């Protein structure tokens, strides 16, 4: 699953009844969807999903690092499943050249062998509450946006304090529907998380970047962690005296098998969708956000790959960084393509005409909503050059060379005003430089700063660009910078922090201050237009909801994803695609005569991909480990083979509505049992965060039987199988 400034309008939401397969629904309101769920095959009750009076499914589903991915409890002893790509950073962080867990995998045979993961947290939702009336009680229409936000922030902070005082809870107030609704979310957060198991990268990332977002897939995308608590069961930082969590609720696992058309629901923490934007905002996403991301990351990825291909150490250091950058580079390419294919701009114009016709039909509506769309359009037009600069700043400077983020981190750590004050910078240096290469970072600086200069109006150049010009250009400046700054060398770093009063005069810190000042200048100039757009959006959303409710009092709305827990429900389902795929498809999953993609793949064709890509530049991505090859060839599948197919289902499709943050989410059948883990969307429907396409949009899931097979037969970690409640 890092998306910038976005909210977009879903055409299907506007023109038809909400489909069962579309929507990311708030758990406390799921009762409104219950009849649809039952009709699709859900056999439990809304109370089984979300309850504050007794344990329920919400108590088994957690946010990894407050929304980066989703995890689920699968045993009474705090055992968690998530995706391999979600655990990728932890595996890389704990790996060395001698113990390379990315390459070799990792299997703890006892509690004592489970490895603490520095910094990882797991967040469980305790309860949620609609606090709209409380938050907006003191807000008036005459307030400026700044005044309005100040009032909302003050009341929200008070509500958070009331909810957490005297407890070990964390809480936050989250905006829904562009500021028309607010919810308080209360969490219990665990901080001692340990790595338990993971397959090697050759399985967990089988197919690499070539297969990313593609169907069919055969990827064993899972990793295993465990929550530890203080002996009394309370959340606690790492201690050797901590014990495995006594789970309040955990998901039973079904290996009975599934069929096309079976009910499937996904619970998780989707990060960000944009289903309610206007035409002008979609253009901004396509022409600024996506186009700039594609251009900058293509340059960045080429540089990283050139070094990673030459040096195993650099490959290990930058594997997680490369994967993170590549993911949404490819996503942005697909999203722009699909927004054009679906003629989204044309359809949105129809929606906006319908809205304005409704507004003009009533003087009161015209007075309140008549200028909403114009405010959005004007704000984006007048701030276009600033928006381009801001996107280039984020991609080429902030997410470019690491020296910038490192310097900003040090500033925060040394500032009495910053939350990081008092941080152990020696510990930080050891962790940072373990995965840093000076030459790689210097090349990123030279090439990405050049891109910024070539594509951004000079009104938004950092002041340091004058120094760069005087010193002979980017390469000459970088040679001097990286040779002298304490930020680019561990020994210099450790020496510098012993006398931090001299740190701020370092050339790397001066560089960071210069580019940070530029960001604030852009933001300050753009603020009035952001405020205008925000007000226009709030009024448009308020009016649009009123219009739809007037047309259909039973119409169901779901808010855009914002890293709060949601449920999406649908079925296991394939799809038709008229165009011949330009990537390799296996015989189990695609019918070239009908152009139908079946909703499952099987382990028998795992080796087909290896054979197909043999001798190509992608051979490494499709190399099957010898042990797995033997298990496949001997059909040593144990109890995990599908009873009808006589083989193991590796991955399957559902029509559930997910986005980034849902990675690792549990796929649950109608009886509340785990049948798989969500890990990707399909390439034909990359427009999903902006518009749900029911014909094509699918969620790619790893089958839980494939996961258990790999734990049991490949990893031979039988104790974990015994921990779980497996339904045959």
Q: Is residue 94 part of a domain?
A: yes
Same structural domain for residues 600 and 701? yes
Q: Looking at 47-61, 238-252, 583-597, 705-719, which range is the least confident one? A: 583-597
One domain for residues 123 and 202: yes
Helix, strand, coil in percent for the chain, rounding step 5: 50, 15, 35
How many other C-beta atoms can be found within 10 angstroms of the C-beta atom of residue 188?
18
Check whether residue 514 and residue 609 sit in a common domain: no
Q: pLDDT tens for residues 697-707?
A: 999 999 999 99
665-687 per-position pLDDT tens digit: 999 999 999 999 999 999 988 89
Residue 398 in domain: yes
Residue 707 has what pLDDT? 98
User: Can you give 625-676 as a three-state secondary structure string?
Assistant: CHHHHHHHHCCCCHHHCCCCCCCCEEEEEECCCCCCCCCCCEEECCCCCEEE
Residue 74: inside a domain? yes
Which residue, 515, 533, 551, sits at the end of a domain? 533
270 domain residue, yes or no: no
Compute the mean pLDDT over every residue in the chain, rounded to the nearest whole number: 93
CA distance 241 to 230: 7
Active site residues: 85, 221, 663
Residues 429 and 571 in one domain: no
Residue 644, token pair as written in the block = 């009808």
Q: Are residues 632 and 682 in the same domain?
A: yes
Which residue is listed with tokens 């490494």?
Answer: 620
Which neighbouring-strand residues pair with 81? 72, 224
Whether 308 and 245 map to the same domain: the answer is no
- Shared domain check, 174 and 67: yes
Q: Rounded to an integer, what distance in angstroms lies between the CA atom of residue 538 and that of residue 535?
A: 5
Number of domains in the chain: 3
- Sign of the CA dihedral with 372 first, then 375, 381, and 385 last: negative
pLDDT class of 191 with cuts at 50, 70, 90: very high
Answer yes or no: do 36 and 145 share one domain.
Answer: yes
Per-residue confidence (pLDDT) for residue 115, from 0 to 100: 98
Domain of 89 in residue numbering reads as 28-251
Give a yes or no: residue 557 inside a domain.
Answer: no
Q: Which helix (H) or strand (E) holds 513?
A: helix 507-551
Residue 222 maps to a domain: yes
Angle subtended by helix axes 438-455 and 474-484, to nearest 10: 140
SS3 state at 532:
helix
pTM, whole model, 2 decimals? 0.89
Q: Is residue 275 part of a domain?
A: no
- Answer yes or no: do 125 and 224 share one domain: yes
Supply the pLDDT for residue 11: 26
Q: Are 560 and 6 within 8 A, CB to CB?
A: no
Q: State yes or no: pLDDT of 326 exceeds 50.
A: yes
| Residue 636 tokens, joined | 């040593």
Nearest to 267 by CA among 680, 561, 556, 668: 668
The reply to whether 485 and 610 lie within a common domain is no
Q: Are residues 660 and 590 in the same domain?
A: yes
97 and 180 together in one domain: yes
Is residue 168 a part of any domain in this protein?
yes
């Amino acid at each position: 699953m890092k998306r910038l400034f976005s909210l977009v309008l879903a055409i299907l939401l506007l023109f038809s009844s909400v489909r069962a397969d579309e929507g990311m629904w708030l758990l406390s309101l799921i009762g409104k969807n219950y009849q649809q769920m039952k009709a699709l095959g859900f056999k439990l009750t809304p109370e089984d999903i979300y309850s504050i009076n007794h344990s329920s499914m919400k108590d088994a589903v957690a946010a990894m690092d407050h929304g980066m991915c989703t995890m689920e409890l699968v045993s009474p002893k705090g055992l968690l499943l998530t995706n391999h790509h979600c655990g990728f950073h932890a595996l890389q962080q704990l790996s060395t050249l001698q113990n390379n867990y990315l390459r070799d995998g990792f299997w703890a045979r006892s509690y004592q062998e489970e490895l603490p993961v520095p910094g990882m947290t797991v967040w469980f939702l305790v309860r949620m509450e609609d606090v709209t009336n409380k938050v907006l009680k003191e807000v008036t229409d005459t307030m400026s946006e700044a005044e309005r936000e100040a009032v909302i922030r003050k009341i929200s902070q008070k509500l958070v304090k009331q909810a957490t005082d005297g407890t070990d809870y964390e809480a936050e107030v989250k905006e829904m529907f562009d500021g028309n609704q607010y919810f308080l979310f209360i969490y219990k957060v665990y901080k001692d998380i340990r790595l338990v198991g993971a397959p090697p990268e050759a399985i967990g990332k089988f197919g690499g970047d070539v297969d990313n977002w593609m169907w069919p897939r055969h990827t064993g995308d899972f990793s295993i962690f465990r929550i530890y608590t203080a002996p009394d069961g309370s959340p606690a930082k790492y201690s050797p005296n901590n014990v495995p969590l006594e789970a309040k609720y955990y998901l039973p696992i079904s290996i009975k098998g599934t069929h096309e058309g079976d009910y499937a629901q996904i619970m998780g923490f989707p990060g960000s969708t944009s289903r309610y934007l206007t035409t002008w905002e979609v253009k901004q996403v396509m022409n600024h956000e996506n186009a700039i991301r594609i251009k900058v990351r293509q340059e960045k990825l080429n540089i990283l790959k050139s070094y990673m291909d030459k040096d195993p150490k650099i490959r290990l250091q930058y594997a997680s960084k490369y994967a993170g950058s590549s993911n949404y580079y490819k996503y942005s390419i697909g999203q722009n393509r699909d927004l054009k294919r679906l003629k989204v701009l044309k359809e949105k114009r129809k929606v906006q005409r319908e809205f304005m016709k409704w507004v003009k039909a009533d003087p009161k509506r015209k007075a309140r909503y008549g200028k909403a769309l114009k405010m959005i359009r004007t704000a984006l037009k007048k701030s276009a050059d600033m928006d381009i600069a801001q996107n280039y700043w984020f991609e080429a400077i902030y997410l470019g060379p690491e020296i910038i983020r490192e310097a900003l981190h040090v500033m925060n750590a040394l500032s009495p005003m910053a939350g990081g004050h008092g941080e152990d910078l020696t510990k930080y240096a050891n962790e940072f430089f373990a995965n840093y290469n000076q030459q790689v970072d210097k090349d990123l600086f030279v090439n990405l700063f050049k891109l910024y200069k070539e594509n951004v109006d000079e009104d938004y150049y950092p002041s340091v660009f004058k120094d760069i010009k005087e010193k002979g250009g980017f390469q000459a400046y970088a040679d001097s910078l990286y040779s002298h700054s304490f930020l680019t060398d561990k020994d210099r770093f450790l020496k510098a922090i012993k006398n931090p009063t001299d740190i701020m005069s370092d050339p790397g810190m001066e560089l960071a201050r210069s580019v940070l000042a530029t960001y604030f200048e852009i933001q300050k100039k753009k603020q009035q237009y952001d405020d205008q757009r925000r007000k226009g959006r709030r009024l448009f959303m308020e009016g649009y909801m009123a219009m739809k409710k007037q047309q259909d009092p039973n119409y169901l709305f779901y808010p855009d994803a914002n890293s709060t827990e949601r449920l999406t429900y649908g079925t296991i389902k394939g799809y038709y695609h008229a165009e011949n795929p330009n990537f390799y498809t296996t015989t189990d999953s695609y019918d070239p005569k009908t152009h139908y993609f079946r909703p499952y793949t099987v382990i028998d064709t795992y080796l087909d991909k290896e054979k197909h890509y043999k001798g190509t530049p992608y051979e490494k991505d499709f190399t099957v480990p010898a042990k797995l090859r033997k298990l496949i060839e001997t059909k040593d599948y144990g109890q995990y083979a599908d009873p009808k197919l006589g083989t193991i289902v590796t991955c399957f499709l559902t029509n559930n509505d997910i986005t980034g943050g849902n990675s690792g989410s549990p796929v649950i059948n109608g009886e509340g049992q785990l049948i798989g883990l969500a890990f990707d969307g399909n390439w034909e429907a990359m427009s999903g965060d902006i518009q749900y396409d029911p014909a094509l949009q699918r969620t790619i899931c790893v089958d839980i039987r494939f996961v258990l097979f790999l734990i049991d037969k490949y990893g031979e970690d039988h104790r974990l199988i015994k921990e779980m409640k497996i339904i045959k």
